[in-house]
Each structure stands twice: as structure tokens, then as C-alpha cells.
Structure 1
């Protein structure tokens, strides 16, 4: 069945343009100031501060079908209306995770979110559900329609509704819908996200290389296979109320990557890995809110996996 294309959707985009960086003065701050001091102009403090710039909300109303993705809509705007609109994407199929953003306040991927699921009509329904989480398009899809007078007063006839877009929460914005996820990637790198075996090359009785040394049975593979699907998109970090750029809490993404290798039977550094995350900003920083599980695009129950790794670290 072919969908009608005489409908529209309105995108409310929270835009951001950074202020141009000032050239460094020839005579800088005090030569006695420490590099870590915010007054000393050190690179560390400069990297952590939130960028300043112009912020505003801009509306775009474009033709759209219910099956179109939010990324499709943004590409239409970029190509036909406003080439200055900035957002990030790569594969467009939910595999790379580069297009994570906040849709109606909820972190998710632009390429997997459809207009049908996320466009909202004026409604008197509360903005949060019974558990205290912000409502999303998929949770309100089955609710009664808003009164006709509200629709007439707020949404044009033929409109599928309104979608609000912003950059990924928990990270400093770079421009429009592009967030700086380097803090998360740096936290992952610190936890050595690669297999560390003993380095000893096993041989058979005949002295040949034992190519079956690292074979695993299905039970061993199952312990970490789901975790290996993580694409480091930042959705779980953006949903976490504790994470704020990686300073006070290493974040669920980094802990998921650590857990993936801790649970790998071939890795020989499990104890070292658990020592690395057994810190105040490691597993101790997790408050078990489980908001990180709500919209993982790869289907990982992040909250459950976090609980498992916390328990394993504390019981070792």
C-alpha cells in the first residue's frame, strides 16, 4: 500500500552556532598558574568547558510520510531549504551510531526513528509516565487523539505533528545536532577495549601451531556476545542522569566495553579490568536508575548488564 505524500511534519530544531575562538594572546595568563587551573588556560580545562555561542529554536515544515525517518526529514531540509543545518550521520541504518540525538527529549538514533512514532499532536496527557520518565512518541501512539480545537489551533490540516530535536544530552554541543562525544570515547580507550591474551603461542604435540587454542563453546560466547554489539553511539550516556561528560562517572558505555572483555574467556586481564573500574567514578558511580536501557539501538539491556558488572566487581 502506497502512503499518501500530501502530509507534512514540523521539525523544531534546537540550533547552536559556537562563538569563534579567540586567538591566543601573546602575553597570556600568569606564568605561575598550574596547567589544571581554570585561570591558567590549560588545555585540560579548555577541553571540558561548555562551548559558548548562539542558541535558538528553528522550525521547518516539510512534506513527509509516516514511514519517513527523522534523518530523511533532516536530509530534505539540508538539500532543499537550509544547507547550514548541521547534523551527523554515516550508514543511515542504525549500525554506526553516529547520528545519535535527542528526539522529543529522548536520546535515540535519527535514522531509526520514524515520523509515525515520534511526531506528536497537541495533547493534555502528562509529559512523564508513571515511572517518572519522559514520554516518547512510541509510548503515546495509542493514546486518544487531542481535542479537535487543539489541533485546529496548533497544527495545520494535513500535518503529522511536531518533532523536537536537540543534540545528545550529557555532551557539549559542537554545532546544531552534533555533540562532542570525545569524552565518552576517551573513557572507553582508558579501559583498554581490546582482547588481551597471554601472548603465548600454543603448539600441538607435533610442534605445530594450535589453531584451536582460542575456540569457545556456545556458553562462553553467550556471556559477551550481546555486549559486542555496542556501537558507542552515546544513547545510554545521554539517557543516564548521573553521566555528565565523563568527569564524575565513567559512564555506561565504557563499563559495557569493560564488561565485554571481562566476560570473554580468552582474555587474561579480567582482574586488572575490574580493578580499573572499581573506583568512585567507576562502578560506584552507577545509581542503578536503568534509564540507559530504554532506547539502546542494539537491543542491549544496559541497566541489567551494569548491575551484573557491579555485582561481579564487588564479589570478586
Structure 2
């Protein structure tokens, strides 16, 4: 139950409903049809295609406090206004990464984004003059503010502003704010995201198992500790202008996971891991834009780590 508030917020949600799948032909389909393309397509490529369906923008104005998160607002809408609104979340505390979406065009987590930080207020001055030219800051600096009642689409008094929501960029939408992040997870799986030690059990002079076999010093731990915080939320991938959920670029998330084990002193497959990402769609695909660092919810400087792993692969 949301307590009474004197302030509201307006959410503009980019909604999407996929078109129902066509049923297979009763007689087995065309005998000339092929199940897979000779050019390397197949079901995997079909799964990455952007699904077709109905797209529209729906506005919701609800009571809200500046400290409320965007996830709080969506839950209020789903519970009291529209139960069909679809979005994904789990822990609600920025630990699982399942609720990544685009807020005002920026990939981030719904549960850590507050209304105070993301609500936008409209300009009180018209964007264009009487002749249709866009106004500049110099032209409007000395002009009095236009009364609120004269501004088109002005937000009512007491409103905290407007927040625009869409599914995570770079991934095909499944429904409303839910994006299909399977392409990213598959890329991570391809790079064996688990420790690969030599498998030899160290023993003490007495023949007992040496419990300090994998003991690390602080310097060794520091090399990968920050990278182990990655929660595979997809925010870095959504911000990357090169990644598009396909095979053209493995993506920053997969490279971060590879780097985590390459920098682990206990792992014995560092050279194999670097060979796996030293490809046209691996480190060579990174253009060093560093947009992936902007809103990592776990505080990883993804752009810097990407530069480090690219340099390490090329210098090996």
C-alpha cells in the first residue's frame, strides 16, 4: 500500500507485445523449405532476430516520492493500474541485475534508479520561436519565463517530472521492458566462465591434503577481485555502440568474465582463454568508446578493464 503523497511522477513506458507464432502447416509444410540456411543461420540466428509485434508508448501518472525507485513506481502501476505491464526483477537491491532497462535512453537498473535522479522537468520556454527556428541559450537568457499554463504539454503542479522507460538496448525485446539477454549469456558460456586449475591435489609432508594449496596473497587477489563483482546484468552491453546481441562482437560482459579468470593466479588456462578472445569478434571488435563504463551497477570501470585485457592479449 503506497502512502498518500502530494507529488506525482509520469512514466512513459515503451510497450511491446510480440506477434503470436504461426502454427506449422498441418501437412508438414513446403517440401522445398530448408530447416537451416547454408550460410550459417539456423535456429540460433533466428532467435536473435528482433521479434515483430505491436509497439506503443503508454503513460502512467502515479503518486510518488523523490526517494522512490523506478522499480517501486512500476510495481505500483502493476498492482493498482495495469497488471499486464511486463518487466523483470528479482532481488530489488541491485545485486542480481535482472531488472536492467533503458531509463531516459540510458541503460541502468530499475531498482537503483530513483525518481529524484531520473525525473525530467520540461523547459519553461518554447523550443522554437515564431518563425520556427530553434531558440538558443543566448536568445532566452534575458527573457522572462513563460507562464506554466501557456507551455504546451506542461507537467501539472506537484509533479516530479517525466521518466521514459524502454527495454535494454542491444537485445531483442520479449515483452514491454523485458529484453532477451540469452545472446549475452551464451557468449559468456562460450568462454568457460569457471576456474580451471591443474587438478593436482597438493599434500603436506605427512601425506595429508594441503588446505593452503590455492592460497593467494593480497596482490594476486586484487587483480581479479573487482571483476568478480560482475552480475551479467547487460548494462554495459546495452551502452556499447558496437554490441548488438549478435556474433559481430562478443561484448564487454563476456570479455570481463574472461579477464576475471585470466587474471586469477590459480587458473592454468590463461593462454587458452586469450587465444579464444583474440579473434575478429573478440578483442578486435572493441572500439574503445568506453560507453560501457558509464553506469555499471557494481562499480567496475569496464572501459579500463577492456583496455587492459586488449593490451594483455596483444602483448602475450
Superposed displacement of residue 206, structure 1: 1.2
- Choose 20-29 or 56-65, whichever is displaced more: 20-29
Gaps of 5+ in 1: none
Superposed displacement of residue 43, structure 1: 1.8
Match of 1:116, SS? helix
Superposed displacement of residue 45, structure 1: 3.3
Change (3 A) 1:41 1:208: closer
Conserved in 2, the CA contact under 8 Å of 1:87 and 1:177?
yes
Change (3 A) 1:152 1:30: closer
Change (3 A) 1:69 1:289: same
Conserved in 1, the CA contact under 8 Å of 2:292 and 2:303?
yes
Change (3 A) 1:23 1:132: farther
Change (3 A) 1:238 1:162: same
Change (3 A) 1:270 1:29: farther
- Choose 120-129 or 227-236, whichever is displaced more: 120-129
Deviations 1:130-177 (A, max 9, x none): 999999999999999997467685101110000000000000000000
Say what the alpha-carbon RMSD is for the aligned residues.
5.6
Conserved in 2, the CA contact under 8 Å of 1:187 and 1:254?
yes
Deviations 1:28-69 (A, max 9, x none): 666666644299994233212111100000000000000000
Match of 2:137, SS? coil
CA distance in 1, matches of 2:139, 2:102: 16
Conserved in 1, the CA contact under 8 Å of 2:124 and 2:148?
no
Change (3 A) 1:48 1:27: farther
Match of 1:194, SS? coil
Superposed displacement of residue 126, structure 1: 14
Change (3 A) 1:26 1:131: farther
Conserved in 2, the CA contact under 8 Å of 1:96 and 1:233?
yes
Conserved in 1, the CA contact under 8 Å of 2:103 and 2:164?
yes
CA distance in 2, matches of 1:271, 1:313: 9
Match of 1:45, SS? helix
Match of 1:274, SS? helix
Change (3 A) 1:68 1:22: same
Number of residue pairs the alignment of both structures matches? 316
Superposed displacement of residue 281, structure 1: 0.2
Superposed displacement of residue 25, structure 1: 2.1
CA distance in 2, matches of 1:192, 1:131: 61
Gaps of 5+ in 2: none
The aligned runs of 1:69-218 (5 Å cut-off) are 69-123=69-123, 148=148, 153-218=153-218
